[in-house]
Every structure is written in C-alpha cells, then in structure tokens.
A and B are shown apart, each in its own frame.
Chain A
C-alpha cells in the first residue's frame, strides 16, 4: 500500500509542476506539497478499484456493493481533514507575509513598478487559486460521506438482482468519469469540483446516459486494463427478450418501469408511491467511488471478448445486446421498401426505413445522400467520384433489379476487386463495402442509355484504347471490364487505382 502511495505522489508532483506557469516556480513547490498531502484521501478511491478487480471478476453484484460500502466508511478520516486544514492555514499565512512585504517595498521602487506589479499580481493570484481549489476539494470530500450516512434504507439492488443491473451500470459510469478526471492531472484544477455537481444533479446525468446508451462506441475511453471490472453475460442472457420478471406470476418485461406498473395488479401494497417510485433514485449513493463495470462479449475471437489481445470493453448492457445482435447474429429484419438492406436490431431497421428512398443524391461509388450539399462535399473530398445522374422515371424498376443481378454475377473479376480495394480505403471498410456493390449497380444503371446508344455505332470495342489510359477513376475501369478488354490492360488499370 505504501509503495503505491509513493508512486502516485511522484506522478502527481511531476505533472502538477508541469501545469504550473514557469514564472511562479517558488510557490510551485508549496502547491506541490499541498497536493501530496491532499493525495491521501484521493488515493483511496483509486486503490479501491485496484483491489476490486481481483475478487469482482465473477462474484455477484451484491458482494461488490458490500465491499464498496466498507471502503466508503474508511474514506472519512478526521485526521486527514485536520492536516488538510492546517496546511491551508499555513499557506494563507505565507501569502499574507508576501503581501505585507510587497506593501512595504511599494514606495521604494516607484520606477519599476509597472513590470513588477504584473509579476506580483500573477504570483498572488496563483497562490490564491491553489488555496481555493484545495478548500473546495476538501469540502467536496465531505459530501459523499454525509450522503452515505444519510442513506439508511437498504439498496434496491438487494431485492432483485436482475432489475438492479441498469441503475448500477449508470452509477458506474459516473464514477468512471470521475476517476478519469482524477487520473488526469493536467485538467485537475478545473475538474475537481465536478463530482460535487454530479451528485447534485444526479437525475440529469442519468438521463444523459440513457440517451447515450444507444451507441456502443467507446469514445476516447482509455481505461487502463485492470482498472475496471469485466462482466460477461451469456449468449442466452443477451438474447432473452425480457430482463425483468414478475416474482408473483413470472411474466417478463423489458423495462423495470413496466414491471412496476404490472405489479399494481397484484395488490394494493404495490400501489404505494414508494413501490412505484424509481427504486434507485435516492437510495443509491451515486458519486461514491464504485468499481467501474465493463462488459465483454461472449463470442470468442471478437475484439469485444476479454480474451482478445486488443480487447475493447463494452460500456453498458445495452451495448452488449446491440453489439452481439449486430455482429454475431443473422440479419433477419429486411427493409420493406428497398428489400435489400437487412438488420439484426429492429431499431436500426426503423431508423433506416425512416430515410429509405429519400436518399436521392447519388454518387458513382454507390453512396447515397439525402442532401445535395452532402453529396457535393463527398465528391469534393474523394478523387474520381462523380455525381451519378439518376435514370429517367420511365424505366421500370423491375428491369433494374434484374439488371442488378446480372451485373453482380458478371463482373465478379479482377477489375472489380481492384475497384473495391481502391475506394474502400477511403472509409471504414465495414460500412463501405456493402455500399460499394451498390455503387457498381447504380453506375451501370445510370449509364445504360449510353450503352444502348453506342451500340448503334458498333459497340465499345471500336474505341481507341488511349481513352482508358487515364484510369484514375473507377468509372472508366468498369467500362473496360464491360467491354472485355485484355486482362493485362485491366491489371494495369487496377494497379493505377490502387495507387
């Protein structure tokens, strides 16, 4: 324990001195000292996580909570508080002396007052700032413990393990952001008061997280491995339609709120305000240093699986569900409008159906846009992409779909592969590639009238080969392929594009 404490101190010291202005190096030392003393109570939470990781891996949630409560009780230390206060007193005295000195010398150095005054002001401001910050943080450290004392009622997660999952995760997220701030020394001065604010507006924060639950992208979260607890749900658990079950009749629900509404039917005791209230609203102490929860995908070999070398954990249960369905399940929901796009998450299908058919702005690469300016921005960005002119409305849609099929089958050759590679490097491969195949289709559709017309003059093979030399765009290669050029020539153009 002591060695780790020291390590933390040195870390603090080096980074805090970095964040100071070079002009006030003399008082930089004193603030450094201030932070080290303050560190004693800050470190406790970090250590909690370290300890929590090992037993928390497969243990039940209940055990974790008990453990954390124990730690929390330790965190309130009057001695630490006393040392903090006495340090601050000392600091204020130092500052007072400095100001006295400056007042005394003020009359003698009239001439150089201008340049000196600025330096002095800076010096005092820095010292004052550090005192204020310490005061706030000391006061802030009191708050969670006060809250903890107040929360006498037992936590709702003790009742039903299943229903406790969601609120718990949210709390974990709060703590995660807090601990992140603590680790980040550069931003420390301004972030420290934050935990206090988070506590007061707990409701709002939770709502924010609810909104963010949808995207399972880990935005810039760089938790060091081992600083969080990894949970792994089983496949059946993930795919289960309901997560909340009625203890009386066994009926399943997707949301806890729905379950509570259902419970009203089982008797008057469930109709009280307390029973209907959101169970975790007041009872769970939010900002207390809790173990962050991260989730692992049960699919072996997945990047989201904890066995993976570059494991990236999932943030919430919902993330796990969506990830598992999207990546490892069949896409069973087909769009009723275009009959091509398939989805495994029904919400994705609904989002798509909202916009399906509205994307009338087409690029030659197959990407569609609902807004013209977005298409032109796309074309301006990528080399060789051109706007695709849509077909005349007179053309029946049935014929285009058959054409689509034939062209997909016919063009499965080297040139096509090159085309895909060439443009797929532009964007995220996973999302672009389905679009790529579409792109080929769109292109052929839009230029089929040309094909028809040129047939009158004897077909493409009559064209001079020179035309295809400048094959920077995927567009020309397609013609080359369609006209049955020699494979050598196609190969050349492929290499050109991939460059």
Chain B
C-alpha cells in the first residue's frame, strides 16, 4: 500500500514502465484487497492490473465472461468455488482465454459434459494441467475427448468411477506429454489401462494409483519408466507378493513410494518392490498388515538413503525399529502415529541412531513414557516437528527437557498430555514455534500461556480445546505477543468472555476462529473480531447461546471472506441467516437446533447464498422446506445434511476426560 501511495503522490504514471508496475504488483499481490484498491485507483492502473493477473478463482461461473474479458492473460483458472460449470461456461473459457490458459481446476464442479470438454481441449491448445477429480459421471467417451488436449502434462482424475481401461487408454495414447497422473479411486481402471499409460507416456514422474484394482502385473511396466519419481499405491489390495515375485527393475529415479494399506504386501513383496529403487527417499507403509519385525526391516536394506518413513497404525517390534535405525540412519522424518505397540525400548533405539531427525510423529503411542521423550530430546537436537498427542504416560518433567534441547521446534502437538506451566515456560524458548496444540491439557493455566505469548512471537496456530484452566488473561497475553496468529481454538474453555475476543481482534491475520461451547461470549465480542479481522474465513460458534442476530449482522457486513460458519445451538434467527447472504463466498452453513427458525426464512437465506455447497440443517426442516427448493439448491451444487440430535447438557470437563479414557482401550 505504501508504494502505491508514493506513486499516487508523484503521479508519474506515463513515465512508469509496465515492468516496474508489475514488480510492484507482484509485491502487493499476497493481499487481494490491496490489489483491488490498486486497480480502482485509475483507468491505467485498472488496465495494468488486469494485464498482470495470471491466476483467477472466480466465485460464480456466471461471472466468467466478464472476468475473462477483463483478465486476458489468465493462465491458471481455479473453478473450485463454482459448483455448477456448464458446457457453455467451458466454451466461454475456451473462446476468451484459449491459448493462454495453462491450468484449469474443475475438481469441485459438475454439470459439464464431453461437448464442453472437447471445446476446451480444442481451443486451449496450451492447456498443461487439468483437474477433473470427482467427475463421477465421466465415462470413457468423455475421457477420449480429454485425450484431444495433446499438450496436457498434469491430469487428475480422482474418483472418476465410471472410467475404465478404454478411457485411460485413449488418454494414454492422446496425451503423450503427461508427467503427473492421478487415478485415485478410479475403481474401473485395471492393470491394462495403467500398463498402457506406462508404455505410452514415457515422461511420467508422479503416478497416483491409490485404491485401484491393480495387481503387481502393471508395476512391471511402470517401474520401467525412466523419470518416475513418485508412485502412490495406497490401498491397492491386488498388489501382493506373488505378482511381484518376478519383478526386476532398476528404477533409479524413484524418490517416493506409498504402499500404505496394501494389505496383501509383506516383506517379500516389498523387497522386490524396493530392489531397484536405490535412491528412494520417502516410504509410506502405513496400515501395513504384517508386523514390522527384524525380518520386515531387512527389506529396507536396498534403500539406505531413505529420508522419510511412515509406519502409521502398524504393529512394530523393538527389534524392527532398531533395525530401521541401523539400516536407514539418514532418516529425517519418522511417523509412528497410532502404533500402539511402540515401547520405550524400541523408540529409544531408533532415535538414538537418527541424529538428523527433523519430524517425529508418535501420536497415540500410549505406552511411551518419560524415557522416550528424554532420549528424543537428547539425541535429536534438530527436531522441527513433534507430534505426541495422547502420550498420557509421559510425566510433566519430560517437557522441560524438550524446550531446553529442541530449540528449533516449529510444530508441537501436545494434545491430551500432562504438560504444566513449567513445561510451557521451557517450550517458550522455541522462538520459531508456529503451531502449538494444547488441547485437553488440564494442567496448564494463564501463567503458562503468558510465557508462550511473550516468547513465541511467530505463533500462527494455537489450539486450546477443552484446556479449561485458561481465562481471558491468558488469551490477552497471546493476542498481544502473537500478532501473526491465524488460527485459534478456544472451544469449551468456559471461562472465556468477550474480553478475550476483543483482545484477539488485534490479530488482524486471524482466519479461523473456533469458540464452540463458550457460554459467556456474546455478539459484541464477535462483532469486535468481525470488524478488525478482515480475513476471517471459518467461524465456529456452536453452543454459544448468547450469540444472536447482531453478531451475524456484523459478520455479514465486515467479513467478506467468510467461507464456513457454524451457528448451531445459538440464539440466531432467520434474520441473521438471511443477512449472511451478503457474503459472496460463503460455502458451508450449519444451523442445527436453533429454535425460532422459520422455514420460509431459512429458504430465503439458502436461496440468497448463491455459492453454498453444504448446508447442515435440522431434520425437522426437511419436510417443512418445499421439495422443489431443495431440488433447485441441489442442482446449484449444494449438498444437504439433515441432523436430528438434541442438545445434550454440557458435562463437567474433568468428567468428560474420564469418560474418554474409559472408552479408550
């Protein structure tokens, strides 16, 4: 903004070269409102800005003719906000930004057919990337049309369930330059189609075959690809040891392999799969059916350069972990999330070998105790991310060490742990901490939080879900110290009042605000946030009974970037809902159990919010709303969720946790 003002003072518009203005625009482009004010300054600025902008994310496909006429140099068009993109709209895109368009995202859109795609494919000759995910009605004939886009390099066809080998075959023959292909959930595509893709498109670098009914047969062709870097085989149950037995390959380019949830793959199949991939860096074996034992770990012999391994949900033995540490000692990322069998012995022997470890995920490893955490802190000084949700046996003293030894931490998840104020004091010395999750930490108070507020000025995300020891004082120190805060969750912190909200309104970058179950916050506090946090996108006010239409009116007026709102179990009426129609990009609304909602008002509000994609309403409204209206909204791309749960009395937080622990095994 400053630079713009300088220009305006000097008024050297004619002297200013286009290149210079473009550099200025590059610098201010992170903030859309700045760009808007720039282009509204004068006619020449308006034209320069339209010339400069390359990527567009329109809210309605109806606007396409106008915005594409204005922005002639559009290269990237993201239509994820437009649930309904007709053939006409695609034809408009083809005509107006034909050869300049390089990337198009239709993953969230429907209502188009082969005719529109053909138009697009023939007009946009330089189209490099297209995302057609979720086109569940797409058939082989439509895929044959996509194959007309000869210059295509990146293609996503996730969840195109009607597609078969024939359609993929057409694409494989037509789009020879493909280098990134995602066929996730294309359950109609088998070995033949994938094999042909590997034979015809020699430039493929990334191939996502998750949940496809393929066997090891097509992997013989795939692993011959010279440039293959990423191969994702998540949930491919057909890939088994027998079909991989004869696999001999030498795929030196392979860097990432995801074999998670491949239930029929044991260490024998894995050994042949990894036999030629000597330069593999990332390996995902999450939810693998076999035990990660010494035998299993021996299959990793060939991939000693491994940098990241994920073993989420696997059963591991101490020997196996030790062997992994010995074989792959250059590991930087280890994920053992939900590996309930991990013991102190196993983890200690693993991290002892990994001096270079940057990221560690031990979520829900409930057997771990202070011994492991001490070993981690002592042997991994470079740790950047530590996720240890629900490691409830770890005593509070262990956290003191983390703050002392791991000064580079940026991400720390301590949800459901025994950490106390002393621990937070120690952690506050991690100056670059940007994400801190302290949900269900019943031992922390305002005092501990104030250390964080004073120390971690880079904090962007703070989660205090059900940390009931927190009051307004703690929140105000955070709001003062962490001005970059983008996400905060103060749900079920019952002592929070409007004061906290007023202090939080200082964090002008706030995008996500969740205050579910805070009975003391009112519309006044909400208004304060709405007025000053212009980027607010997600608001959760469920079970805040004091929130009423006044708060929503303020939101509707000031928060033009709001995308998602939950006002279930509040005092909101249809007046407030109707006012939300003023927000152009609102996509998700949840209004369940709000008494005083009249069907006609809800209908008007739903009609008013043109970009709505998801509406969560009480089941009783289903019969009260006219069926034709529901059909109309569904045709516009809005999905309905009908909920029929009655408001339960809020339980005592301590009792709640006790209950949770009883439920856990």
Q: Give the contact-size bracket for chain B.
A: 20 to 34
Residues facing B in A19-69 (CB within 8 A) are none
Instruction: Say whether B166 contacts A456, CB under 8 Å.
Output: no
Q: Which one, A171-179, A203-211, A383-391, is touching chain B? A: A383-391
Q: Which residues of A contact B199 (CB under 8 A)?
A: 380
Instruction: Say whether B174 contacts A453, CB under 8 Å.
Output: no
Instruction: Say whether B119 contacts A454, CB under 8 Å.
Output: yes
Instruction: Say whether B125 contacts A467, CB under 8 Å.
Output: yes
Residues facing B in A256-310 (CB within 8 A) are none
Q: Which one, B50-58, B137-145, B436-444, is touching chain A? A: B137-145
Q: Is residue B636 contacting chain A, with contact meaning CB distance below 8 A?
A: no
Partner of B122, one of A379, A449, A463: A463
With A380-B199, A389-B166, A450-B114 already in contact, 12 other A-B pairs whose C-beta atoms are closer than 8 Å: A373-B192, A376-B196, A379-B169, A379-B173, A380-B200, A385-B173, A386-B173, A387-B173, A446-B144, A450-B115, A454-B115, A463-B123
Residues facing B in A179-210 (CB within 8 A) are none
Q: Which residues of A contact B166 (CB under 8 A)?
A: 387, 389
Q: Is residue B118 contacting chain A, with contact meaning CB distance below 8 A?
A: yes
Q: Which residues of A contact B144 (CB under 8 A)?
A: 386, 389, 446-447
Q: In the complex, how many angstroms separate the beta carbon of A478 from the nearest chain B beta carbon?
A: 13
Q: Which residues of B contact A456 (CB under 8 A)?
A: 115
Q: Is residue A470 contacting chain B, with contact meaning CB distance below 8 A?
A: yes
Taking CB as reference atom, which chain B residue is nearest A392?
Answer: B141
Interface of chain A: mostly helix, strand, loop or mixed: helix
Q: Which residues of B contact A373 (CB under 8 A)?
A: 192
With A372-B165, A373-B192, A379-B196: A454-B118 Cβ-Cβ less than 8 Å:
yes
Q: Which residues of A contact B534 (CB under 8 A)?
A: none
Q: Which residues of B contact A386 (CB under 8 A)?
A: 144, 147, 169-170, 173-174
Q: Is residue A499 contacting chain B, with contact meaning CB distance below 8 A?
A: no
CA distance A470 to B149 in the complex (A): 11
CA distance A446 to B125 in the complex (A): 23
Instruction: Say whether B115 contacts A389, CB under 8 Å.
Output: no
CA distance A386 to B166 in the complex (A): 9
Q: Is residue B150 contacting chain A, with contact meaning CB distance below 8 A?
A: yes
Residues facing A in B190-205 (CB within 8 A) are 192-193, 195-196, 199-200
CA distance A457 to B87 in the complex (A): 11
Q: In the complex, how many angstroms separate the beta carbon of A480 from the nearest chain B beta carbon?
A: 13
Taking CB as reference atom, which chain B residue is nearest A391?
Answer: B141
Q: In the complex, how many angstroms separate the beta carbon of B440 from the nearest chain A beta carbon?
A: 54
Question: Per-residue CB proximity of B94-131 to A under 8 Å, as 1/0?
Answer: 00001100000000000001110011001101000000
Residues facing A in B133-172 (CB within 8 A) are 140-141, 144-145, 147-148, 150, 165-167, 169-170
CA distance A330 to B123 in the complex (A): 50
The tally of CB-CB contacts under 8 A between chains A and B is 70
Instruction: Say whether B173 contacts A473, CB under 8 Å.
Output: yes
Q: In the complex, how many angstroms separate the beta carbon of B201 from the nearest chain A beta carbon?
A: 12
CA distance A301 to B570 in the complex (A): 98
Instruction: Say whether A376 contacts B195, CB under 8 Å.
Output: yes
Taking CB as reference atom, which chain A residue is nearest B122?
Answer: A463
CA distance A171 to B547 in the complex (A): 105
CA distance A67 to B122 in the complex (A): 78
Q: Which residues of A contact B147 (CB under 8 A)?
A: 386
Residues facing A in B258-282 (CB within 8 A) are none
Q: Give the contact-size bracket for chain A.
A: 20 to 34
CA distance A466 to B192 in the complex (A): 32
CA distance A349 to B486 in the complex (A): 77
Q: Is residue B91 contacting chain A, with contact meaning CB distance below 8 A?
A: yes
Of the A-B pairs whose beta carbons lie under 8 Å apart in the complex, a sample of 29, sorted by A's number, is: A372-B165, A376-B192, A376-B193, A376-B196, A379-B173, A380-B199, A385-B173, A386-B173, A387-B166, A387-B169, A387-B170, A389-B140, A389-B141, A389-B166, A446-B144, A450-B115, A450-B145, A453-B113, A453-B115, A454-B118, A456-B115, A457-B115, A463-B122, A463-B123, A464-B98, A464-B122, A464-B125, A467-B148, A467-B150
Q: Which residues of B contact A470 (CB under 8 A)?
A: 150
Partner-B contacts on A (CB < 8 A): 372-373, 376, 379-380, 384-387, 389, 446-447, 449-450, 453-454, 456-457, 463-464, 466-467, 470, 473
Q: Which residues of A contact B125 (CB under 8 A)?
A: 464, 466-467
Instruction: Say whether A372 contacts B122, CB under 8 Å.
Output: no
With A380-B200, A450-B145: A457-B169 Cβ-Cβ less than 8 Å:
no
Instruction: Say whether A372 contacts B140, CB under 8 Å.
Output: no
With A372-B165, A389-B140, A457-B91: A450-B196 Cβ-Cβ less than 8 Å:
no
CA distance A389 to B114 in the complex (A): 13
CA distance A385 to B173 in the complex (A): 7
Instruction: Say whether A467 contacts B140, CB under 8 Å.
Output: no
CA distance A415 to B546 in the complex (A): 77
Instruction: Say whether A372 contacts B192, CB under 8 Å.
Output: yes
Q: Which residues of A contact B122 (CB under 8 A)?
A: 463-464, 467
Q: Which residues of B contact A453 (CB under 8 A)?
A: 113-115, 118
Instruction: Say whether B118 contacts A450, CB under 8 Å.
Output: yes
CA distance A454 to B145 in the complex (A): 12
CA distance A196 to B409 in the complex (A): 87
Partner of B170, one of A389, A457, A463: A389
Instruction: Say whether A464 contacts B123, CB under 8 Å.
Output: yes
Q: Which residues of A contact B165 (CB under 8 A)?
A: 372, 376, 387
Q: In the complex, how many angstroms separate the beta carbon of A466 from the nearest chain B beta carbon?
A: 5
Taking CB as reference atom, which chain B residue is nearest A454?
Answer: B118
Q: Which residues of B contact A389 (CB under 8 A)?
A: 140-141, 144, 166-167, 170
Q: In the complex, how many angstroms separate the beta carbon of A50 from the nearest chain B beta carbon?
A: 53
CA distance A187 to B200 in the complex (A): 43
